[in-house]
Chain A
Protein backbone atom coordinates (compact mmCIF):
# COMPACT_ATOMS: atom_id res chain seq x y z
CA UNK A 1 0.00 0.00 0.00
CA UNK A 2 1.50 3.38 -1.02
CA UNK A 3 1.38 5.93 1.77
CA UNK A 4 -0.77 8.92 0.91
CA UNK A 5 1.08 12.27 1.00
CA UNK A 6 0.50 13.98 4.33
CA UNK A 7 -0.79 17.17 2.72
CA UNK A 8 -3.67 15.21 1.18
CA UNK A 9 -4.65 13.78 4.57
CA UNK A 10 -4.31 17.24 6.05
CA UNK A 11 -6.46 18.77 3.30
CA UNK A 12 -9.13 16.10 3.89
CA UNK A 13 -9.08 16.71 7.64
CA UNK A 14 -9.44 20.45 7.12
CA UNK A 15 -12.19 20.03 4.53
CA UNK A 16 -14.21 17.61 6.65
CA UNK A 17 -13.90 19.64 9.85
CA UNK A 18 -14.42 23.07 8.32
CA UNK A 19 -17.43 21.89 6.28
CA UNK A 20 -18.90 20.22 9.36
CA UNK A 21 -18.24 23.36 11.42
CA UNK A 22 -20.00 25.60 8.88
CA UNK A 23 -23.03 23.30 8.70
CA UNK A 24 -23.11 22.77 12.48
CA UNK A 25 -22.81 26.53 13.03
CA UNK A 26 -25.79 27.20 10.77
CA UNK A 27 -27.84 24.52 12.55
CA UNK A 28 -26.58 25.23 16.07
CA UNK A 29 -26.88 29.01 15.95
CA UNK A 30 -30.40 28.76 14.51
CA UNK A 31 -31.53 26.16 17.05
CA UNK A 32 -29.81 27.96 19.94
CA UNK A 33 -31.50 31.21 18.93
CA UNK A 34 -34.90 29.55 18.76
CA UNK A 35 -34.37 27.97 22.17
CA UNK A 36 -33.17 31.25 23.71
CA UNK A 37 -35.73 33.63 22.23
CA UNK A 38 -38.81 31.81 21.02
CA UNK A 39 -41.32 30.13 23.26
CA UNK A 40 -40.88 26.78 21.52
CA UNK A 41 -43.11 23.94 22.69
CA UNK A 42 -41.02 21.34 24.50
CA UNK A 43 -38.24 23.85 25.05
CA UNK A 44 -37.13 22.27 28.33
CA UNK A 45 -36.90 18.83 26.76
CA UNK A 46 -34.99 20.19 23.76
CA UNK A 47 -32.59 22.04 26.07
CA UNK A 48 -32.00 18.82 28.03
CA UNK A 49 -31.32 16.97 24.75
CA UNK A 50 -28.85 19.66 23.67
CA UNK A 51 -27.08 19.59 27.03
CA UNK A 52 -26.87 15.79 26.87
CA UNK A 53 -25.55 16.02 23.30
CA UNK A 54 -22.73 18.25 24.54
CA UNK A 55 -21.60 15.55 26.95
CA UNK A 56 -22.01 12.41 24.79
CA UNK A 57 -18.65 10.80 23.85
CA UNK A 58 -17.90 11.31 20.18
CA UNK A 59 -17.40 7.59 19.68
CA UNK A 60 -21.01 7.01 20.75
CA UNK A 61 -22.21 9.62 18.26
CA UNK A 62 -20.04 7.91 15.64
CA UNK A 63 -21.55 4.55 16.49
CA UNK A 64 -25.11 5.88 16.13
CA UNK A 65 -24.33 7.60 12.82
CA UNK A 66 -22.53 4.47 11.57
CA UNK A 67 -25.55 2.30 12.46
CA UNK A 68 -27.83 4.70 10.59
CA UNK A 69 -25.58 4.84 7.52
CA UNK A 70 -24.62 1.16 7.49
CA UNK A 71 -25.56 -0.63 4.25
CA UNK A 72 -28.35 -2.47 6.06
CA UNK A 73 -29.26 0.57 8.19
CA UNK A 74 -32.25 2.89 7.68
CA UNK A 75 -30.16 5.32 5.59
CA UNK A 76 -28.05 2.63 3.92
CA UNK A 77 -29.45 3.38 0.46
CA UNK A 78 -27.69 6.75 0.54
CA UNK A 79 -24.30 4.94 0.36
CA UNK A 80 -22.67 7.33 2.81
CA UNK A 81 -20.84 4.88 5.05
CA UNK A 82 -17.04 5.04 4.59
CA UNK A 83 -17.31 8.30 2.68
CA UNK A 84 -16.17 11.85 3.42
CA UNK A 85 -19.79 12.99 3.34
CA UNK A 86 -20.65 10.40 5.98
CA UNK A 87 -17.79 11.69 8.15
CA UNK A 88 -19.07 15.25 7.75
CA UNK A 89 -22.53 14.11 8.92
CA UNK A 90 -20.99 12.49 12.01
CA UNK A 91 -18.95 15.61 12.82
CA UNK A 92 -22.01 17.81 12.34
CA UNK A 93 -23.84 15.60 14.85
CA UNK A 94 -20.92 16.04 17.26
CA UNK A 95 -20.47 19.83 16.90
CA UNK A 96 -24.11 20.95 16.63
CA UNK A 97 -25.15 20.41 20.28
CA UNK A 98 -22.04 22.26 21.45
CA UNK A 99 -22.68 25.26 19.20
CA UNK A 100 -26.40 25.21 20.10
CA UNK A 101 -25.66 25.24 23.82
CA UNK A 102 -23.13 28.06 23.64
CA UNK A 103 -25.42 30.12 21.36
CA UNK A 104 -28.31 29.69 23.75
CA UNK A 105 -26.20 30.80 26.72
CA UNK A 106 -24.71 33.73 24.77
CA UNK A 107 -28.11 35.11 23.80
CA UNK A 108 -29.51 34.62 27.27
CA UNK A 109 -26.59 36.58 28.71
CA UNK A 110 -27.39 39.67 26.62
CA UNK A 111 -29.10 42.47 28.60
CA UNK A 112 -32.65 41.19 29.11
CA UNK A 113 -34.20 44.48 28.01
CA UNK A 114 -32.37 44.45 24.66
CA UNK A 115 -34.81 42.35 22.58
CA UNK A 116 -37.85 44.36 23.65
CA UNK A 117 -35.96 47.62 23.24
CA UNK A 118 -35.13 46.63 19.66
CA UNK A 119 -38.71 45.55 19.02
CA UNK A 120 -40.00 48.81 20.39
CA UNK A 121 -37.63 50.66 18.07
CA UNK A 122 -39.33 48.94 15.15
CA UNK A 123 -37.13 45.91 14.41
CA UNK A 124 -39.02 43.06 12.78
CA UNK A 125 -38.20 39.48 13.73
CA UNK A 126 -35.41 39.09 11.15
CA UNK A 127 -33.80 42.42 12.01
CA UNK A 128 -34.06 41.63 15.71
CA UNK A 129 -32.36 38.24 15.43
CA UNK A 130 -29.64 39.58 13.14
CA UNK A 131 -28.87 42.40 15.56
CA UNK A 132 -28.77 40.06 18.54
CA UNK A 133 -26.33 37.81 16.68
CA UNK A 134 -24.13 40.83 16.03
CA UNK A 135 -24.32 41.77 19.71
CA UNK A 136 -23.37 38.21 20.69
CA UNK A 137 -20.79 37.85 17.92
CA UNK A 138 -17.88 37.16 20.26
CA UNK A 139 -19.40 34.16 22.06
CA UNK A 140 -20.90 32.97 18.77
CA UNK A 141 -17.42 32.93 17.26
CA UNK A 142 -16.25 31.08 20.36
CA UNK A 143 -19.03 28.56 19.72
CA UNK A 144 -17.80 28.01 16.16
CA UNK A 145 -14.23 27.67 17.43
CA UNK A 146 -15.31 25.10 20.01
CA UNK A 147 -17.26 23.24 17.31
CA UNK A 148 -14.24 23.17 15.03
CA UNK A 149 -11.98 22.06 17.86
CA UNK A 150 -14.38 19.26 18.68
CA UNK A 151 -14.62 18.16 15.05
CA UNK A 152 -10.94 18.26 14.10
CA UNK A 153 -9.77 16.47 17.22
CA UNK A 154 -12.19 13.58 17.31
CA UNK A 155 -11.15 10.11 16.21
CA UNK A 156 -13.93 7.70 17.21
CA UNK A 157 -16.58 8.68 14.70
CA UNK A 158 -13.98 9.27 11.96
CA UNK A 159 -12.91 5.64 12.34
CA UNK A 160 -16.41 4.15 12.68
CA UNK A 161 -18.07 6.20 9.90
CA UNK A 162 -15.05 6.84 7.65
CA UNK A 163 -13.28 3.54 8.09
CA UNK A 164 -9.80 5.13 7.81
CA UNK A 165 -9.48 4.13 4.15
CA UNK A 166 -6.18 5.36 2.70
CA UNK A 167 -6.62 7.86 -0.06
CA UNK A 168 -10.35 8.17 0.65
CA UNK A 169 -11.39 8.73 4.25
CA UNK A 170 -8.20 8.78 6.26
CA UNK A 171 -7.86 11.96 8.27
CA UNK A 172 -5.10 13.21 10.56
CA UNK A 173 -6.50 11.73 13.76
CA UNK A 174 -7.14 8.27 12.32
CA UNK A 175 -3.71 8.37 10.67
CA UNK A 176 -2.12 9.09 14.07
CA UNK A 177 -3.96 6.16 15.67
CA UNK A 178 -2.95 3.86 12.82
CA UNK A 179 0.71 4.88 13.02
CA UNK A 180 0.78 4.41 16.79
CA UNK A 181 -0.77 0.94 16.45
CA UNK A 182 1.96 0.06 13.95
CA UNK A 183 4.64 1.35 16.32
CA UNK A 184 5.60 4.24 14.03
CA UNK A 185 5.67 6.81 16.77
CA UNK A 186 7.84 9.28 14.87
CA UNK A 187 5.32 9.53 12.02
CA UNK A 188 2.47 9.76 14.51
CA UNK A 189 4.19 12.66 16.28
CA UNK A 190 4.75 14.49 12.96
CA UNK A 191 1.05 14.06 12.11
CA UNK A 192 0.16 15.25 15.60
CA UNK A 193 2.31 18.38 15.29
CA UNK A 194 0.82 19.17 11.87
CA UNK A 195 -2.71 18.70 13.24
CA UNK A 196 -1.83 20.98 16.13
CA UNK A 197 -0.56 23.64 13.71
CA UNK A 198 -3.77 23.38 11.64
CA UNK A 199 -5.94 23.78 14.75
CA UNK A 200 -3.75 26.67 15.89
CA UNK A 201 -3.97 28.50 12.56
CA UNK A 202 -7.76 28.19 12.28
CA UNK A 203 -8.38 29.13 15.90
CA UNK A 204 -5.90 32.03 15.73
CA UNK A 205 -7.76 33.37 12.72
CA UNK A 206 -11.10 33.21 14.53
CA UNK A 207 -9.59 34.54 17.78
CA UNK A 208 -8.10 37.52 15.97
CA UNK A 209 -11.52 38.40 14.50
CA UNK A 210 -13.02 37.94 17.96
CA UNK A 211 -10.44 40.11 19.71
CA UNK A 212 -10.68 42.87 17.13
CA UNK A 213 -14.42 43.03 17.84
CA UNK A 214 -13.81 43.02 21.59
CA UNK A 215 -11.23 45.82 21.46
CA UNK A 216 -13.51 47.98 19.30
CA UNK A 217 -16.45 47.49 21.63
CA UNK A 218 -14.27 48.35 24.65
CA UNK A 219 -12.88 51.58 23.18
Chain B
Protein backbone atom coordinates (compact mmCIF):
# COMPACT_ATOMS: atom_id res chain seq x y z
CA UNK B 1 0.00 0.00 0.00
CA UNK B 2 1.33 3.44 -0.85
CA UNK B 3 1.91 6.24 1.60
CA UNK B 4 0.52 9.78 1.58
CA UNK B 5 2.98 12.61 1.03
CA UNK B 6 2.42 16.09 2.30
CA UNK B 7 4.49 19.27 1.94
CA UNK B 8 3.72 22.42 3.92
CA UNK B 9 5.52 25.75 3.48
CA UNK B 10 8.64 23.99 2.23
CA UNK B 11 11.59 26.20 1.39
CA UNK B 12 15.04 25.05 0.40
CA UNK B 13 18.07 27.27 -0.07
CA UNK B 14 21.34 26.36 -1.71
CA UNK B 15 24.25 28.62 -2.56
CA UNK B 16 22.46 31.59 -1.02
CA UNK B 17 19.33 31.34 -3.18
CA UNK B 18 15.92 29.68 -2.93
CA UNK B 19 15.93 26.58 -5.11
CA UNK B 20 12.53 25.29 -3.99
CA UNK B 21 9.50 27.00 -2.57
CA UNK B 22 6.28 25.00 -2.25
CA UNK B 23 3.47 26.26 -0.03
CA UNK B 24 1.32 23.16 -0.18
CA UNK B 25 1.34 19.85 -1.99
CA UNK B 26 -0.50 16.64 -1.15
CA UNK B 27 0.02 13.33 -2.89
CA UNK B 28 -2.56 10.68 -2.07
CA UNK B 29 -1.63 7.08 -1.33
CA UNK B 30 -1.14 5.12 -4.52
CA UNK B 31 -1.13 8.20 -6.74
CA UNK B 32 1.33 8.61 -9.60
CA UNK B 33 2.60 12.16 -9.68
CA UNK B 34 4.89 13.49 -12.39
CA UNK B 35 7.06 16.54 -11.83
CA UNK B 36 7.75 18.32 -15.10
CA UNK B 37 10.18 21.16 -15.48
CA UNK B 38 13.29 22.35 -17.33
CA UNK B 39 16.82 21.81 -16.02
CA UNK B 40 17.43 23.77 -12.82
CA UNK B 41 13.73 24.03 -11.94
CA UNK B 42 14.21 22.26 -8.59
CA UNK B 43 12.86 18.84 -9.60
CA UNK B 44 15.73 16.77 -8.22
CA UNK B 45 15.82 18.91 -5.08
CA UNK B 46 12.14 18.12 -4.49
CA UNK B 47 12.85 14.41 -4.90
CA UNK B 48 15.85 14.52 -2.56
CA UNK B 49 13.74 16.21 0.10
CA UNK B 50 10.98 13.62 -0.34
CA UNK B 51 13.60 10.86 -0.14
CA UNK B 52 14.78 12.44 3.14
CA UNK B 53 18.40 12.38 2.00
CA UNK B 54 18.52 16.03 3.03
CA UNK B 55 16.13 18.08 5.16
CA UNK B 56 14.37 21.20 3.82
CA UNK B 57 15.71 24.56 4.99
CA UNK B 58 12.21 25.34 6.29
CA UNK B 59 8.79 23.74 6.33
CA UNK B 60 7.50 20.25 6.88
CA UNK B 61 7.42 17.14 4.70
CA UNK B 62 5.59 14.05 5.92
CA UNK B 63 5.31 10.50 4.63
CA UNK B 64 2.04 9.34 6.14
CA UNK B 65 2.36 11.11 9.48
CA UNK B 66 6.16 10.73 9.75
CA UNK B 67 8.18 13.93 9.44
CA UNK B 68 11.10 13.38 7.05
CA UNK B 69 13.28 15.55 9.30
CA UNK B 70 13.06 13.04 12.15
CA UNK B 71 12.22 9.73 10.52
CA UNK B 72 15.73 8.25 10.29
CA UNK B 73 16.39 4.85 8.76
CA UNK B 74 12.83 3.61 9.44
CA UNK B 75 11.43 6.35 7.26
CA UNK B 76 14.10 5.88 4.59
CA UNK B 77 13.13 2.23 4.42
CA UNK B 78 9.56 3.10 3.43
CA UNK B 79 10.76 4.90 0.32
CA UNK B 80 12.94 3.86 -2.61
CA UNK B 81 14.81 6.47 -4.60
CA UNK B 82 16.06 5.75 -8.12
CA UNK B 83 18.53 8.40 -9.22
CA UNK B 84 19.27 9.60 -12.73
CA UNK B 85 22.47 7.57 -12.81
CA UNK B 86 21.81 3.96 -11.89
CA UNK B 87 24.29 4.16 -8.97
CA UNK B 88 24.99 0.43 -8.98
CA UNK B 89 27.69 -1.10 -6.84
CA UNK B 90 30.68 -2.93 -8.27
CA UNK B 91 29.26 -6.37 -7.70
CA UNK B 92 26.83 -8.61 -9.57
CA UNK B 93 23.39 -7.39 -10.62
CA UNK B 94 21.80 -9.91 -8.26
CA UNK B 95 23.93 -8.80 -5.31
CA UNK B 96 22.98 -5.18 -6.03
CA UNK B 97 19.33 -6.07 -5.61
CA UNK B 98 19.94 -8.37 -2.64
CA UNK B 99 22.05 -6.01 -0.57
CA UNK B 100 19.32 -3.55 0.54
CA UNK B 101 17.17 -6.58 1.46
CA UNK B 102 20.05 -7.86 3.57
CA UNK B 103 20.23 -4.47 5.30
CA UNK B 104 16.56 -4.95 6.17
CA UNK B 105 17.40 -8.37 7.63
CA UNK B 106 15.38 -10.34 5.08
CA UNK B 107 16.44 -14.02 5.43
CA UNK B 108 18.93 -15.17 2.79
CA UNK B 109 16.67 -17.56 0.87
CA UNK B 110 13.78 -15.11 0.81
CA UNK B 111 15.93 -12.22 -0.36
CA UNK B 112 17.37 -14.30 -3.20
CA UNK B 113 13.81 -15.07 -4.28
CA UNK B 114 12.65 -11.44 -4.00
CA UNK B 115 15.70 -10.20 -5.91
CA UNK B 116 15.25 -12.70 -8.73
CA UNK B 117 11.53 -11.88 -8.96
CA UNK B 118 12.28 -8.16 -9.21
CA UNK B 119 14.96 -8.72 -11.88
CA UNK B 120 12.54 -10.96 -13.74
CA UNK B 121 9.79 -8.30 -13.67
CA UNK B 122 12.22 -5.88 -15.31
CA UNK B 123 13.35 -8.57 -17.79
CA UNK B 124 16.97 -8.68 -16.61
CA UNK B 125 16.94 -11.94 -14.62
CA UNK B 126 19.30 -13.47 -17.20
CA UNK B 127 21.91 -10.83 -16.24
CA UNK B 128 21.77 -11.65 -12.52
CA UNK B 129 25.33 -12.94 -12.27
CA UNK B 130 26.94 -10.33 -14.51
CA UNK B 131 28.97 -7.48 -12.96
CA UNK B 132 26.42 -4.68 -12.74
CA UNK B 133 28.73 -1.92 -13.94
CA UNK B 134 29.53 -3.83 -17.13
CA UNK B 135 25.87 -3.77 -18.22
CA UNK B 136 24.51 -1.30 -20.79
CA UNK B 137 22.86 1.93 -19.60
CA UNK B 138 19.36 0.56 -20.11
CA UNK B 139 20.17 -2.70 -18.34
CA UNK B 140 21.73 -0.81 -15.43
CA UNK B 141 18.59 1.32 -15.06
CA UNK B 142 16.46 -1.82 -15.04
CA UNK B 143 18.63 -3.35 -12.32
CA UNK B 144 18.43 -0.09 -10.37
CA UNK B 145 14.64 -0.14 -10.65
CA UNK B 146 14.50 -3.83 -9.72
CA UNK B 147 16.58 -2.99 -6.64
CA UNK B 148 14.02 -0.38 -5.65
CA UNK B 149 10.96 -2.52 -6.38
CA UNK B 150 12.35 -5.58 -4.55
CA UNK B 151 12.07 -3.52 -1.36
CA UNK B 152 8.29 -3.30 -1.88
CA UNK B 153 8.41 0.41 -1.01
CA UNK B 154 5.39 2.50 -0.10
CA UNK B 155 6.84 5.43 -2.04
CA UNK B 156 8.90 5.12 -5.22
CA UNK B 157 10.84 8.22 -6.25
CA UNK B 158 12.17 8.24 -9.81
CA UNK B 159 14.61 10.91 -10.96
CA UNK B 160 14.56 10.83 -14.76
CA UNK B 161 15.35 7.12 -14.70
CA UNK B 162 15.47 6.93 -18.51
CA UNK B 163 17.53 10.08 -19.03
CA UNK B 164 20.52 8.34 -20.57
CA UNK B 165 18.53 6.08 -22.90
CA UNK B 166 17.73 6.49 -26.59
CA UNK B 167 14.13 7.01 -27.68
CA UNK B 168 13.42 3.36 -28.40
CA UNK B 169 14.99 2.11 -25.15
CA UNK B 170 13.03 4.76 -23.25
CA UNK B 171 9.73 3.54 -24.64
CA UNK B 172 10.54 -0.06 -23.74
CA UNK B 173 11.81 1.00 -20.31
CA UNK B 174 8.58 2.78 -19.41
CA UNK B 175 6.48 -0.10 -20.73
CA UNK B 176 8.49 -2.40 -18.45
CA UNK B 177 8.09 0.01 -15.55
CA UNK B 178 4.33 0.08 -16.08
CA UNK B 179 4.20 -3.69 -16.14
CA UNK B 180 6.49 -4.05 -13.12
CA UNK B 181 4.35 -1.68 -11.08
CA UNK B 182 1.28 -3.59 -12.24
CA UNK B 183 -1.64 -2.97 -9.96
CA UNK B 184 0.53 -2.25 -6.91
CA UNK B 185 -0.79 0.80 -5.07
CA UNK B 186 2.68 2.34 -4.59
CA UNK B 187 2.82 6.12 -4.45
CA UNK B 188 5.13 7.14 -7.29
CA UNK B 189 6.72 10.52 -7.86
CA UNK B 190 8.61 10.77 -11.14
CA UNK B 191 10.68 13.70 -12.22
CA UNK B 192 11.12 14.44 -15.90
CA UNK B 193 11.93 17.27 -18.25
CA UNK B 194 10.16 15.43 -21.07
CA UNK B 195 6.43 16.00 -21.40
CA UNK B 196 5.79 12.67 -23.17
CA UNK B 197 7.19 10.73 -20.18
CA UNK B 198 5.38 12.82 -17.59
CA UNK B 199 2.01 12.93 -19.32
CA UNK B 200 2.03 9.24 -20.22
CA UNK B 201 2.85 8.10 -16.74
CA UNK B 202 0.98 10.26 -14.26
CA UNK B 203 -2.39 10.67 -12.62
CA UNK B 204 -1.41 14.30 -11.97
CA UNK B 205 1.43 16.47 -13.12
CA UNK B 206 3.03 19.45 -11.45
CA UNK B 207 4.97 21.89 -13.57
CA UNK B 208 7.91 23.26 -11.64
CA UNK B 209 9.56 26.49 -12.78
CA UNK B 210 12.22 28.31 -10.76
CA UNK B 211 11.45 26.09 -7.76
CA UNK B 212 7.74 26.95 -7.68
CA UNK B 213 4.66 25.03 -8.73
CA UNK B 214 3.50 26.79 -11.86
CA UNK B 215 0.60 24.50 -12.67
CA UNK B 216 -0.90 21.38 -11.13
CA UNK B 217 -3.42 19.25 -12.99
CA UNK B 218 -4.18 16.03 -14.79
CA UNK B 219 -2.20 15.27 -17.94
CA UNK B 220 -5.30 16.10 -19.97
CA UNK B 221 -5.69 19.49 -18.27
CA UNK B 222 -2.06 20.31 -18.91
CA UNK B 223 -2.36 19.23 -22.50
CA UNK B 224 -5.50 21.21 -23.20
CA UNK B 225 -5.21 24.16 -20.85
CA UNK B 226 -1.64 25.16 -20.07
CA UNK B 227 -1.78 28.29 -17.91
CA UNK B 228 0.82 30.22 -19.90
CA UNK B 229 3.38 30.00 -22.66
CA UNK B 230 6.08 28.56 -20.35
CA UNK B 231 3.89 25.57 -19.52
CA UNK B 232 2.71 25.29 -23.13
CA UNK B 233 6.31 25.13 -24.34
CA UNK B 234 7.14 22.47 -21.72
CA UNK B 235 4.10 20.41 -22.64
CA UNK B 236 5.30 20.41 -26.22
CA UNK B 237 3.33 23.06 -28.12
CA UNK B 238 5.68 23.76 -31.00
CA UNK B 239 3.94 27.00 -32.10
CA UNK B 240 3.40 30.02 -29.84
CA UNK B 241 2.26 33.06 -31.82
CA UNK B 242 0.94 36.49 -30.95
CA UNK B 243 -2.66 37.12 -32.08
CA UNK B 244 -5.67 39.38 -31.41
CA UNK B 245 -9.20 38.51 -30.41
CA UNK B 246 -11.69 40.46 -32.48
CA UNK B 247 -14.99 41.83 -31.18
CA UNK B 248 -16.84 38.72 -32.43
CA UNK B 249 -14.41 36.32 -30.73
CA UNK B 250 -12.51 35.50 -33.93
CA UNK B 251 -8.77 35.05 -33.40
CA UNK B 252 -6.77 36.97 -35.98
CA UNK B 253 -3.14 37.55 -36.85
CA UNK B 254 -3.18 40.99 -38.40
CA UNK B 255 -6.30 40.82 -40.57
CA UNK B 256 -5.94 37.13 -41.34
CA UNK B 257 -8.18 34.52 -39.69
CA UNK B 258 -6.59 31.65 -37.75
CA UNK B 259 -9.63 29.39 -37.88
CA UNK B 260 -10.03 29.77 -34.12
CA UNK B 261 -12.73 31.47 -32.06
CA UNK B 262 -12.67 32.13 -28.34
CA UNK B 263 -14.70 33.60 -25.52
CA UNK B 264 -11.65 35.58 -24.32
CA UNK B 265 -12.36 39.32 -24.25
CA UNK B 266 -11.12 41.28 -27.28
CA UNK B 267 -7.42 42.09 -27.11
CA UNK B 268 -4.00 40.49 -27.42
CA UNK B 269 -3.62 36.72 -26.83
CA UNK B 270 -1.12 33.98 -27.62
CA UNK B 271 -2.14 31.02 -29.75
CA UNK B 272 -0.42 27.79 -28.70
CA UNK B 273 -0.71 25.09 -31.35
CA UNK B 274 0.82 21.65 -31.71
CA UNK B 275 2.56 21.15 -35.05
CA UNK B 276 0.06 18.38 -35.72
CA UNK B 277 -2.73 20.98 -35.28
CA UNK B 278 -1.50 23.31 -38.07
CA UNK B 279 -3.44 22.83 -41.31
CA UNK B 280 -1.84 23.89 -44.59
CA UNK B 281 -4.44 24.85 -47.18
CA UNK B 282 -4.42 26.11 -50.80
CA UNK B 283 -3.39 29.75 -51.16
CA UNK B 284 -6.87 30.90 -52.17
CA UNK B 285 -8.47 29.60 -48.97
CA UNK B 286 -9.00 31.74 -45.85
CA UNK B 287 -6.12 31.57 -43.34
CA UNK B 288 -2.70 33.01 -42.56
CA UNK B 289 -0.73 33.74 -45.76
CA UNK B 290 2.60 31.91 -45.51
CA UNK B 291 5.16 30.28 -47.75
CA UNK B 292 6.78 26.86 -47.30
CA UNK B 293 10.45 27.31 -46.42
CA UNK B 294 11.53 23.75 -45.69
CA UNK B 295 10.11 20.23 -45.84
CA UNK B 296 11.88 17.50 -43.87
CA UNK B 297 10.90 13.92 -43.15
CA UNK B 298 9.85 12.95 -39.61
CA UNK B 299 8.62 9.70 -38.07
CA UNK B 300 5.26 9.02 -39.73
CA UNK B 301 4.90 12.57 -41.02
CA UNK B 302 6.70 15.40 -42.78
CA UNK B 303 7.75 18.46 -40.83
CA UNK B 304 6.98 21.59 -42.81
CA UNK B 305 8.38 24.98 -41.83
CA UNK B 306 6.42 27.97 -43.12
CA UNK B 307 7.04 31.72 -42.80
CA UNK B 308 5.00 34.79 -43.62
CA UNK B 309 2.84 36.81 -41.24
CA UNK B 310 4.05 34.21 -38.72
CA UNK B 311 6.60 31.38 -38.65
CA UNK B 312 5.14 27.95 -37.91
CA UNK B 313 6.00 24.27 -37.83
CA UNK B 314 3.42 21.86 -39.18
CA UNK B 315 3.29 18.07 -39.21
CA UNK B 316 1.73 16.85 -42.42
CA UNK B 317 0.77 13.18 -42.92
CA UNK B 318 2.95 11.27 -45.37
CA UNK B 319 1.35 11.32 -48.81
CA UNK B 320 -0.86 14.34 -48.14
CA UNK B 321 -0.27 16.36 -51.30
CA UNK B 322 2.90 17.83 -52.75
CA UNK B 323 4.58 20.46 -50.64
CA UNK B 324 7.84 22.06 -51.65
CA UNK B 325 9.89 25.03 -50.57
CA UNK B 326 8.58 28.28 -52.06
CA UNK B 327 4.94 27.14 -52.31
CA UNK B 328 2.43 29.75 -51.08
CA UNK B 329 -0.18 28.29 -48.73
CA UNK B 330 -2.62 29.37 -46.03
CA UNK B 331 -2.29 28.12 -42.44
CA UNK B 332 -5.08 27.63 -39.93
CA UNK B 333 -5.25 25.87 -36.58
CA UNK B 334 -7.21 22.82 -35.48
CA UNK B 335 -9.20 23.95 -32.38
CA UNK B 336 -8.73 20.49 -30.79
CA UNK B 337 -4.93 20.83 -30.98
CA UNK B 338 -4.63 24.52 -30.16
CA UNK B 339 -5.35 26.70 -27.18
CA UNK B 340 -5.66 30.43 -26.51
CA UNK B 341 -3.53 31.88 -23.73
CA UNK B 342 -3.86 35.36 -22.22
CA UNK B 343 -0.94 37.64 -23.15
CA UNK B 344 0.33 39.73 -20.25
Residues of A bordering B, CB below 8 Å:
111, 113-114, 116-117, 119-124, 127, 131, 134-135, 216-219
Q: Is the CB of B103 within 8 A of A217?
A: no
Return the CB mask of B95-128 against A: 1 if under 8 Å, else 0: 0000110011000000000000000000000000
Residues of B within 8 A of A114 (CB): 87
State in angstroms the CA–CA spacing of A119 and B81 once bound together.
10
Residues of A within 8 A of B79 (CB): 120
Closest to A137 in B: B90
The 18 listed contacts between A and B (C-beta, < 8 Å) are A113-B87, A116-B53, A117-B83, A119-B53, A122-B73, A122-B77, A122-B100, A122-B103, A122-B151, A124-B103, A127-B103, A131-B99, A134-B91, A135-B90, A216-B131, A218-B131, A219-B131, A219-B134
The reply to whether the CB of B89 lies closer than 8 angstroms to some CB of chain A is yes
Return the CB mask of B172-197 against A: 1 if under 8 Å, else 0: 00000000000000000000000000
State in angstroms the CA–CA spacing of A123 and B53 once bound together.
12
Q: Is the CB of A121 within 8 A of B131?
A: no
The reply to whether the CB of B206 lies closer than 8 angstroms to some CB of chain A is no
The reply to whether the CB of B80 lies closer than 8 angstroms to some CB of chain A is yes
Residues of B within 8 A of A121 (CB): 76, 80-81, 99-100, 103, 147-148, 151
Q: Is the CB of B90 within 8 A of A120?
A: no
The reply to whether the CB of B224 lies closer than 8 angstroms to some CB of chain A is no
The reply to whether the CB of B51 lies closer than 8 angstroms to some CB of chain A is yes
The reply to whether the CB of B8 lies closer than 8 angstroms to some CB of chain A is no
Q: Besides A111-B85, A113-B85, A121-B151, 18 other CB < 8 A contacts?
A: A114-B87, A116-B54, A117-B81, A117-B87, A120-B76, A120-B157, A121-B100, A121-B148, A122-B73, A122-B77, A122-B100, A123-B100, A123-B103, A127-B103, A131-B99, A135-B89, A216-B131, A218-B134
A-B pair number, CB within 8 angstroms: 63
State in angstroms the CA–CA spacing of A135 and B88 once bound together.
10
Q: Is the CB of B51 within 8 A of A120?
A: yes
Closest to A117 in B: B87
State in angstroms the CA–CA spacing of A116 and B89 once bound together.
13
Interface size of B as a range: 20 to 34
State in angstroms the CA–CA spacing of A134 and B51 once bound together.
24
Residues of A within 8 A of B85 (CB): 111, 113
Q: Is the CB of B134 within 8 A of A122?
A: no
Given contacts A121-B100, A122-B73, A217-B131, contact A116 B48 (CB under 8 A): yes
Question: What's the nearest-Cβ distance from chain B to residue A114, in Å?
Answer: 6
Q: Is the CB of B80 within 8 A of A131?
A: no
The reply to whether the CB of B133 lies closer than 8 angstroms to some CB of chain A is yes
Residues of B within 8 A of A216 (CB): 131
Q: Is the CB of B73 within 8 A of A124?
A: yes
Residues of A within 8 A of B48 (CB): 116
Could you say which of A121, A123, A135 has the most chain B C-beta atoms within 10 Å of its C-beta?
A: A121
Could you say which of B48, B73, B84 has the most chain A C-beta atoms within 10 Å of its C-beta?
A: B73
State in angstroms the CA–CA spacing of A123 and B90 once bound together.
16
Closest to A214 in B: B90
- Which residues of B41-98 have CB atoms within 8 Å of chain A's CB atoms? 48, 51-54, 73, 76-77, 79-81, 83-85, 87, 89-91
Question: What's the nearest-Cβ distance from chain A to residue B123, in Å?
Answer: 22
State in angstroms the CA–CA spacing of A121 and B53 once bound together.
10
Return the CB mask of B298-319 against A: 1 if under 8 Å, else 0: 0000000000000000000000
Q: Is the CB of A122 within 8 A of B76?
A: yes
Residues of A within 8 A of B51 (CB): 116, 120
Question: What's the nearest-Cβ distance from chain B to residue A62, in Å?
Answer: 39
Q: Is the CB of B131 within 8 A of A120?
A: no
Closest to A217 in B: B90
Pick the residue among B76, B87, B134 that contacts A111 (CB under 8 A): B87
Closest to A114 in B: B87
Given contacts A120-B76, A217-B133, contact A113 B83 (CB under 8 A): yes
Question: What's the nearest-Cβ distance from chain B to residue A39, in Å?
Answer: 12
